[in-house]
């Protein structure tokens, strides 16, 4: 079955149309994609992991999926299978043992027979891998154990007692990145009670045979020695010290202290319950939310409470006829809407009476109205239970329903609303009280080095990365100081620094100075900036340039000139830019085999802020966008554009809708100013 992630042939360039016409076509398309609620949102594509876990959880808690739902889920597996018969960690990867094991289990639970091509091929591919299903990372081993297919003794220990440590200790879980601690507080509970669900017989025996080969001659069930067995997914294998710690904890796990274990389990359960309550059952992400559902079920919670929590997971669901039912890693309404509005503002409405201008104003009013209402305005109750940072004043990546606001989402939303202020009535902009809340929220996220964290300021040492137990993700243990978050914060502070808010003016000025110094220190020798959330050096350079220019740094500054030279040096011969995700894991720039519209737009936006519209690189990049635009005003982005947990690549589907439009609009506006 063909894999949907196989790159298409590079589309042949169209006859060159003018930037103005290309801009108008892209503008009309973006306007047509606005949701009724006023937001824009594109799917953030990851992999089949969450869908597989959802299917497993449904079976364990006793929820029956209707036949049309099962068929649509199977269709998604069929649309994403790789040529080898497995499923990848992202759209451009080869098969992953972890994702393939989970997908195989889910497909069987959905009613597919063992001799169905999807199941037969995935089982055969897994058997061909060193270690097979036994060699999946710890997350996979835990899910196999939860499904009743694996021995907990064959899993690296996840003792819940860690959550009983004094919070002042540098190794307390509350010093970890919020996604990591939310996942592990639930995993630790399930591990601590050795929870094992029932998939039913004879299916459990069949899966053990297919995945672990237990019925084949010479095969053995999983055992303690399998803890260290790792396959192709192990991009971050544990070091010697961590392996030694696991060995010590494994000895403790043979006879854990009964009362201490009971207290630890109660602590983890309280944290999971609090997370469910304060996020309106959505959880921080669907990854932690599904684990929370299992914790509630395992703890004996009322079936209605478990069902309510599982129903909330559908908040993350996407479905269409072509690709079936799947679950996104996050919802991106605020993120996409802020950038879509900026793209509309780049070459905004005029007074010519053009009907399109009226349509743009209407779209801006609705988009800004959505952003205004998406701001989190109240604090999370009892934040000390899960060590939550102040939330009031921030914006979430999504619509704000789960109340986990983020620094760059807050910065982009606040800045966008203020950038649109001259075109829109005051009613579409938050009042001064809310803007002051946003300012305080951002100031709280600045680290001592001047950079900004994402959900929280940094709490733990980078040395904690050496204790990373995931084995397949990097940079997932502690918050950092990020180029992108810092650049966005500087853009926001320059918009928020208003005479009517003297309370925060001095703090903002200091934050701007420290943030700018952080970006200058972070610049690489070649002139680029590294990124943590996008691919990779072009993305980081765009946000650094935006932030530094917002502080008033002139485009002739040597650091900006160096950035421009680097961008020009990596421009491809056809006039576009393209960057490969491999550079994210290797911490360097890696050129993609093809130019990509999103990377081209990022490079153009940065160059327009430095060199203006007259440079040959800008002209060639704009020409490339005009040539590659489809008749409906869209662009075909073939490469992943986002990153999470260091090695988890994401495909932001809407980036190709507004970043090229933004670049063309900024180009036209710059030409107008230059003319």
The catalytic residues are 408
Q: Alpha-carbon distance 362 to 620, whole Å?
A: 33
Q: What is the DSSP string of 14-60?
A: PPP--HHHHHHHHHHHHHHT--TTS-----EE--SHHHHHHHHHHHH
Q: Which residues contact 586 (CB under 8 A, 6 or more apart)?
A: none
Residue 592, SS3 per DSSP: strand
Q: How remote is the C-alpha of 423 from its chain's centroid?
A: 32
Q: Phi, psi (5° rounding) for residue 437?
A: -60, -45
The alpha carbon of residue 482 and the mean position of all alpha carbons in its chain are separated, in whole angstroms, by 14
Q: If 0-12 CB within 10 Å is exposed, 13-18 middle and 19+ buried, where does residue 182 land? A: buried
**What is the C-alpha to C-alpha distance for residues 584 and 484, in angstroms, rounded to an integer?**
14
By three-state DSSP, how is residue 476 classified? coil
The three-state DSSP-derived secondary structure of 628-663 is: HCCCCCCCCCCCCCEEECCCEEEEECCHHHHHHHHH
Tokens of 343: 């793209």
Total Cβ atoms within 10 A of residue 471? 22
- Six-digit token string for 388: 């939550």
> Judging by beta carbons within 10 Å of its beta carbon (0-12, 13-18, 19+), is residue 215 exposed, middle or buried?
exposed
DSSP secondary structure letter of residue 211:
I
Are residues 181 and 291 in contact, defined by beta-carbon separation less than 8 angstroms? no
d(CA 665, CA 669) in angstroms, rounded, equals: 6
- Distance from C-alpha of 658 to C-alpha of 341, rounded to nearest angstrom: 9
Tokens found for residue 27: 């503008």
**How many CB atoms sit inside 10 A of residue 172's CB?**
18
100 with 231: CB under 8 angstroms?
Answer: no
DSSP 8-state symbol, 257: -
Number of helices and strands in the chain (H, E): 24, 7
* Euclidean distance between CA atoms 531 and 585, whole angstroms: 11
- Contacts of residue 130, defined as CB under 8 A and 6 or more positions apart, other chains included, come to 231
| E strand map for 291-400 | 317-320, 324-327
């Amino acid at each position: 079955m063909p894999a949907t992630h196989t790159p298409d042939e590079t589309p042949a360039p169209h006859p060159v149309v003018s930037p103005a016409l290309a801009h108008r076509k892209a503008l009309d398309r973006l306007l047509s994609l606005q949701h009724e609620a006023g937001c824009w949102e594109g799917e953030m594509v990851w992999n089949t992991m969450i869908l597989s876990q959802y299917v497993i959880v449904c079976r364990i808690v006793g929820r029956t999926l209707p036949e049309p739902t099962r068929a649509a889920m199977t269709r998604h597996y069929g649309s994403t299978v790789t040529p080898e018969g497995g499923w990848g960690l992202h759209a451009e990867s080869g098969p992953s043992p972890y994702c393939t094991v989970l997908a195989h289990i889910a497909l069987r639970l959905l009613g597919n027979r063992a001799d169905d091509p999807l199941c037969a091929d995935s089982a055969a591919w897994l058997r061909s891998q060193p270690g097979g299903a036994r060699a999946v990372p710890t997350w996979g081993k835990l899910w196999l154990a939860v499904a009743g297919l694996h021995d907990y003794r064959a899993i690296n220990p996840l003792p819940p007692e860690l959550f009983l440590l004094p919070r002042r200790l540098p190794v307390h879980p509350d010093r970890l990145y919020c996604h990591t601690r939310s996942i592990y507080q639930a995993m630790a509970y399930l591990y601590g009670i050795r929870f094992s669900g029932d998939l039913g017989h004879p299916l459990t025996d069949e899966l053990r045979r297919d995945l672990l080969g237990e019925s084949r001659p010479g095969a053995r069930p999983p055992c303690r020695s399998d803890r260290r067995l790792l396959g192709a997914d192990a991009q971050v294998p544990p070091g010697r010290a961590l392996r030694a710690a696991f060995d010590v904890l494994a000895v403790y796990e043979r006879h854990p202290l009964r009362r201490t274990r009971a207290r630890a389990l109660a602590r983890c359960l309280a944290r999971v319950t609090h997370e469910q309550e304060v996020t309106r059952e959505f959880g921080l992400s669907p990854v932690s939310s599904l684990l929370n559902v299992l914790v509630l079920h395992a703890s004996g919670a009322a079936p209605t409470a478990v069902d309510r929590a599982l129903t909330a997971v559908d908040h993350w669901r996407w479905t269409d006829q072509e690709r079936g039912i799947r679950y996104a890693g996050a919802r991106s309404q605020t993120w996409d809407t802020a950038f879509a509005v900026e793209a509309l503002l780049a070459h905004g409405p005029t007074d010519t009476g053009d009907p399109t201008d009226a349509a743009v104003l209407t779209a801006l009013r609705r988009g800004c109205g959505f952003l205004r209402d998406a701001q989190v305005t109240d604090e999370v109750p009892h934040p000390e239970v899960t060590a939550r940072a102040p939330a009031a004043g921030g914006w979430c990546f999504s619509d704000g329903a789960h109340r986990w606001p983020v620094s760059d989402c807050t910065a982009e939303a606040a800045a966008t609303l203020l950038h649109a202020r001259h075109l829109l009535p005051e009613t579409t902009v938050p009042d001064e009280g809310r803007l002051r809340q946003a300012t305080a929220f951002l100031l709280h996220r600045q680290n001592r080095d001047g950079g900004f964290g994402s959900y929280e300021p940094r709490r733990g040492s980078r040395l904690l990365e050496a204790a990373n137990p995931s084995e397949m993700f990097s940079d997932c243990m502690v918050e950092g100081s990020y180029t992108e978050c810092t650049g966005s914060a500087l853009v926001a502070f320059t918009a928020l620094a208003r005479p009517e808010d003297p309370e925060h003016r001095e703090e903002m000025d200091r934050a701007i100075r420290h943030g700018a110094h952080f970006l200058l220190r972070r610049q690489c020798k070649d002139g680029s900036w590294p990124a943590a959330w996008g691919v990779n050096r072009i993305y980081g350079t765009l946000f650094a340039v935006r932030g530094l220019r917002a502080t008033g740094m002139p485009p002739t500054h040597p650091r900006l000139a160096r950035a421009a030279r680097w961008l020009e040096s990596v421009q491809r011969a056809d006039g576009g830019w393209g960057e490969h995700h491999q550079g994210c894991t290797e911490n360097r720039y890696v050129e993609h085999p093809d130019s990509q519209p999103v990377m081209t737009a990022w490079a153009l936006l940065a160059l327009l802020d430095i060199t203006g519209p007259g440079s040959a690189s800008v002209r060639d990049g704009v020409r490339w966008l005009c040539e590659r635009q489809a008749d409906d005003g869209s662009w075909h982005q073939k490469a992943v554009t986002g990153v999470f947990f260091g090695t988890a690549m994401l495909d932001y589907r809407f980036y190709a809708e507004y970043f090229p439009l933004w670049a063309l609009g900024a180009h036209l506006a710059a030409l107008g100013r230059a003319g």
